[in-house]
Structure 1
């Protein structure tokens, strides 16, 4: 097999960018994958996916601005580029900045213009060529001659498309079959769809259904093997060192091996949730390293082992993660119904922190640890939310606490393909109720609405309604889980617009949003969003804001504060980034209000009043 030039990857990337058809994109990617030497597959697949194999390189935008002239002739290979970037990623200590600049300059000097373009996109993380993971997974299947369903399953279990590509292209379906759920290797979590209200959610899930409180925390996946515990985020980053309370809670559970799915949330002394930004600041500290787990490709000749959980030395690079101050952090509209008063008898949003700790021995109607139901599953507990086994934990007081809602593996038994009822019963057999998300089973829309109202009254952000017979659909967002949240809206004024990139290149995209200050008549910026914009809206607002432009620095177009836009958002939080001291969470555009003058836009006082429900803790 011939050595693949880096120019060939750059040419494929450019061709994929210029191609609109899904099938044509897949064919281009598959052809490039087939040409890769076995030793180049991991790096080559990463480049085709628009990313680097090395997670952190220390190369920022400033370093990319001063590029040397491109080379006239192509000399770089995929392997040579990977080796150069690997060396860059290990530079540290005294003189590292100078050394990194030297290495980067040498790499770019050897790159032709198309190769420099690709390298810039890879280092910046802004290579938008339309080769999403789904397309590349299809291309891997085509190149390896294996069913795409087998590739997707392996991808969802491993979370690493590069390594799935290497397994498929070197070992085919047998190698992919060796990629199984492993304790210690995070897998892509099941995701929830959205519905505007509980009635619409129940249409998707059917009845009976289970209603879980939707906590305003961070998604965690916790792996335990013996006394080793590893905690991963939704994006599969290892944050074990940041959550010692969670690790200790899981160590105290009466089990040997488990993979638990849930949320970590900061609570006050009464057990009520603190604002999301306080949880995020405790779990996403600038100076605390994060490790992304990248599982090694299993050897097709050996059976799959289950390594102990916990960080593996040298398994991945580390990086500092900034404090989260989300303004528009993604996700489509998740509209909800108006908040109703709490219904009598509705379940609490979280099993209260004031509940007594679980007894040292399981209650008489709970199974002993390790007992099994037919089919190898742990024996069920009587209720959906389950009885609790001993944890030895005090269930009172504040701090970061885990609240689990699913169990994917228990003591050697995989539960992914089991119905929710079985997984949740097993969860209730080994986790005390104080560490399980508030949950109730409903038969009617009225019962679901009562649970929704109770969750909101307890300070949670909504509910997730679940079909109890559905398996755990790794990495998928379908109709088996549907979230419902209340929708807030504000009429704000556009202060500036940023030029788009990728498929939005040539359009004005990211909106700077302002609320009216009734004392001065000026507008106070609250944040930005590019969510909710259809192609039609992008065309319209590009023309509109060019008409209102007062300055243009090539990136940000400042406009006369005249255009009102209706914005939906999930909440308001304190922020030092913006002059009003507040920012919107998950903001997205609903519609433009040509019927409303800027003088009638919502005020900064109204926004700050929304934030008053969760004041910052006293200093």
Structure 2
């Protein structure tokens, strides 16, 4: 098995390589030399994860525990470690700094750590539970850290343990590298990754079975897949045009996306980011057991909350408190009971339905989901070619407190992880965007020590680069600035003056007055009067709005300016 220091060398080279193409070539050349059986772990480690996306295991080592570990192993005081962490903002860099200042050296040459040993160590840490588990986890990690041969190796062991390796090996780069290393079509690698939620296993199959093996991959219950994603359109008319004149329209709820897996009485619930939410949502589990008649099934759905007094939807932020809740679940359930609206079926009684057209999947859905009053029923839908009829439904949805409508192509297959116009969103407000924070500015005066202004960016769907649209400094309370600073500090990749560049892992919804042409940012455009609406905990970096979406809004605004009095 490969030595971990060989992987560390690749991490360092990736960190020093700004070009996406060069990163792809570097990774492809490296993994092409890795034995097939070792690929799953090494590819997963390259992404900065320990376990695959679908795997819920975590080391469970929090910041304070890691500070104790670094202090213990380097024989530096915890106060000194904390001071270093305040300066570096990253526990991995703090470990490197403290190892370089290590007061007591070992009297023997440690045996090099292998990648396999490190993976098994992390797995052992993840298994530790119950009374005394925190101390046990610390001892296990100290054992492997003691064998780090350089401060840089210690940095990456610590960074991996908390899954904060900022190497730039994002999933798009990894997919392209796997395709190049195994000489298979990139679209097959992407499809396999979306279906398995496991880049390491995808790489192994690509190597051993090639394109044929990748094409044979299918979905299975209890293994979450990436959800199909929608693009925004400006109007009912545009939605109908995209769908060829006839579409299915469904109410767009202000809820949380849930992927439901059922196998007999076993039910698992996954977020759009593949997090297991089963224990947090016991009533949803109960609804599925009562309502879904399939023996095995995978459903796509929306989880919503309804105010019992008014009958109107409760805002998404309240639902989010339920999704985060680990303790006192029943208390939270009593405060915000949830309902379920399944809207698609991906798998039914042993068969994948991904390749069936939506009209057939919808027919299956309505056959296997028995309505339970308002608690669980298929999402309200309408198939029509009549713009006025769809517009009436849109108005009713808005008046009921929902966000608008979804428009869907009746002939479309279900494409996991793909954003396209086979499924579109029509909302009442066009002036918000979901954007990634890519840099932040340190404050001064009363706000010294806080990150106070945040550069936000959309995603170039062709290159995979983030294109900046402006800085957001409005909409934050002091408490929110403190929380955002703590969230972003571990993601800092470099600093120049008061500006800190960060990995684009925090997504925010931003409201603005308009989009203007601007030479200031690399996108060529800027948001006028941007303001924070909310942090989008449910979105991943790959789900931020695209540059195409930005241009769509810009063009609509230009048409509106050209023709005053018309609605865009």
- Please indicate, yes or no, whether the TM-score normalized by the shorter chain is above 0.5: yes
Instruction: Say yes or no: does 1:23 pair with 2:21.
Output: yes
> Structure 1 residue 279: deviation in Å?
2.4
Per-residue deviation, residues 255-302 of structure 1 (Å, max 9, x unmatched): 33322111122223365322223323333313389xxxxxxxxxxxxx
Give the corresponding residue for 1:497: 451
> Structure 1 residue 57: deviation in Å?
0.9
* Cα distance in structure 1, aligned partners of 2:4 and 2:534: 46
Give the corresponding residue for 2:63: 61
Give the corresponding residue for 1:440: 382
Instruction: Say yes or no: does 1:279 pair with 2:221.
Output: no
Segment of structure 1 superposing worse, 250-259 or 218-227: 250-259
Alignment of 1:201-350 (within 5 A): 201-252=239-290, 253-269=292-308, 271-287=311-327
* Equivalent residue for 1:399, pick from 315, 337, 341: 337
SS state at 1:101 partner: helix
1:167/1:175 contact within 8 Å kept: yes
> Structure 1 residue 21: deviation in Å?
3.3
* Equivalent residue for 1:567, pick from 517, 530, 533: 530
* Cα distance in structure 2, aligned partners of 1:165 and 1:266: 40
**Using a 3 Å threshold, how does the CA distance of structure 1 residues 96 and 500 change in structure 2: closer, same or farther?**
farther
2:453/2:472 contact within 8 Å kept: no
Alignment of 1:454-493 (within 5 A): 454-487=396-429
* Cα distance in structure 1, aligned partners of 2:396 and 2:411: 24
Segment of structure 1 superposing worse, 406-415 or 210-219: 406-415
* Cα distance in structure 2, aligned partners of 1:514 and 1:470: 39
SS state at 2:190 partner: helix
* Cα distance in structure 1, aligned partners of 2:394 and 2:326: 35
* Cα distance in structure 2, aligned partners of 1:187 and 1:74: 40
Instruction: Say yes or no: does 1:134 pair with 2:132.
Output: no
* Cα distance in structure 1, aligned partners of 2:130 and 2:282: 29
* Equivalent residue for 1:106, pick from 136, 140, 143: 143
2:62/2:162 contact within 8 Å kept: yes
2:221/2:262 contact within 8 Å kept: yes
* Cα distance in structure 2, aligned partners of 1:92 and 1:183: 27
**Which TM-score applies when normalising by structure 2?**
0.65
**Using a 3 Å threshold, how does the CA distance of structure 1 residues 572 and 190 change in structure 2: closer, same or farther?**
closer
Alignment of 1:134-173 (within 5 A): 134-173=172-211
Give the corresponding residue for 2:128: 91
2:384/2:390 contact within 8 Å kept: yes
> Structure 1 residue 78: deviation in Å?
0.9
* Cα distance in structure 2, aligned partners of 1:460 and 1:513: 26
**Which TM-score applies when normalising by structure 1?**
0.60
**Using a 3 Å threshold, how does the CA distance of structure 1 residues 90 and 510 change in structure 2: closer, same or farther?**
farther
> Structure 1 residue 40: deviation in Å?
2.8
**Using a 3 Å threshold, how does the CA distance of structure 1 residues 116 and 514 change in structure 2: closer, same or farther?**
same
SS state at 1:117 partner: helix
* Cα distance in structure 2, aligned partners of 1:565 and 1:159: 38
Per-residue deviation, residues 97-130 of structure 1 (Å, max 9, x unmatched): 3333333333333222332332343234333322
* Cα distance in structure 2, aligned partners of 1:100 and 1:244: 30
> Structure 1 residue 39: deviation in Å?
4.3
* Superposed CA RMSD: 4.1
Count of residues in Structure 1 that have an aligned counterpart in Structure 2: 428
2:280/2:326 contact within 8 Å kept: no
* Cα distance in structure 2, aligned partners of 1:481 and 1:412: 26
Structure number with higher relative contact order (C-alpha < 8 Å, ≥ 6 residues apart): 1
**Using a 3 Å threshold, how does the CA distance of structure 1 residues 524 and 30 change in structure 2: closer, same or farther?**
closer
Greater share of residues in helix: 2
* Cα distance in structure 2, aligned partners of 1:86 and 1:38: 20
Give the corresponding residue for 1:387: none
> Structure 1 residue 6: deviation in Å?
1.1
